[in-house]
Amino acid sequence: MSKPVIMIVDDEDAITSSLSYCLQKEGYEVLVAYNGADAIKMVVNRVPDLIVSDIMMPEVDGFEFCRRIRDYYKTRDIPFIFLTAKTTDRDKVEAVRLGGDDYVTKPFDLQELILKVRRSLEKSESVSG
């Protein structure tokens, strides 16, 4: 069986590097994009099993990226976890409204995020498989 593919979309290199490293140690394949525009281009070529995305990014922000992922039939069911410094209730409501499956605020605990990734993938597998 192939490794699950996780896409990380964040413009902060420290976050993409540390999260990539930890997810790869857990046995996942990791794709990295530094903004929503690049992530959209990547998703067309390689559909990930789960997306972890920041909200505040240049070009296409995380909200718009999630909206586009949910609008495209090949990607609309991908589990989507927002990872962001935005902590207002309004932002959390918007994330859920757009189809986000989870919302993790920065600074975050890596082990907690990895557990949420694992849980989201298991839930997705049980629904689709």
- Which CATH number does the domain housing residue 55 bear? 3.40.50.2300
Angle between the 13-25 and 110-128 helix axes, to the nearest 10 degrees? 60
User: Which of 79, 81, 75 is CA-nearest to residue 43?
Assistant: 75
Q: What pLDDT, on a 0 to 100 scale, did the predictor assign at position 103? A: 96
What's the full length of the chain, in residues? 129
Q: What pLDDT, on a 0 to 100 scale, did the predictor assign at position 82? A: 98
Q: What pLDDT, on a 0 to 100 scale, did the predictor assign at position 56? A: 96
pLDDT along the chain (129 residues), means of 10: 93 96 97 96 95 96 96 94 96 96 95 95 82
Q: What pLDDT, on a 0 to 100 scale, did the predictor assign at position 126? A: 82
pTM exceeds cut of 0.85: yes
Burial label for 27, CB within 10 Å (0-12, 13-18, 19+), is exposed
Range of the domain at 111: 5-128
Structural domains counted in the chain: 1
Give DSSP secondary structure letters for the chain.
-PPPEEEEE-S-HHHHHHHHHHHHHTT-EEEEESSHHHHHHHHHHS--SEEEE-SS-SSS-HHHHHHHHHHSTTTTTS-EEEEES---HHHHHHHHHTT-SEEEESS--HHHHHHHHHHHHHHHHHHH-
